Amino acid sequence: MVKAEGKTYPFDDPSTIDASVLETFPYEYAGHDAIVEISTDEFTAVCPYSGLPDFGSLAVRYIPSSVCIELKSFKYYLISYRNVGIYQEHAANKILEDLVAASDPKWMEVVLDYRLRGGIHTVVTVTDGSRPGDLV
The DSSP code sequence of 37-100 is: EEEEEEEEEE-TTT--EEEEEEEEEEE-SSEEE-HHHHHHHHHTTTTBB--HHHHHHHHHHHHH
* Active-site option among 54, 98, 113, 128: 54
* Active-site option among 12, 33, 41, 47: 47
12 is catalytic: no
54 is catalytic: yes
Catalytic center residues = 47, 54
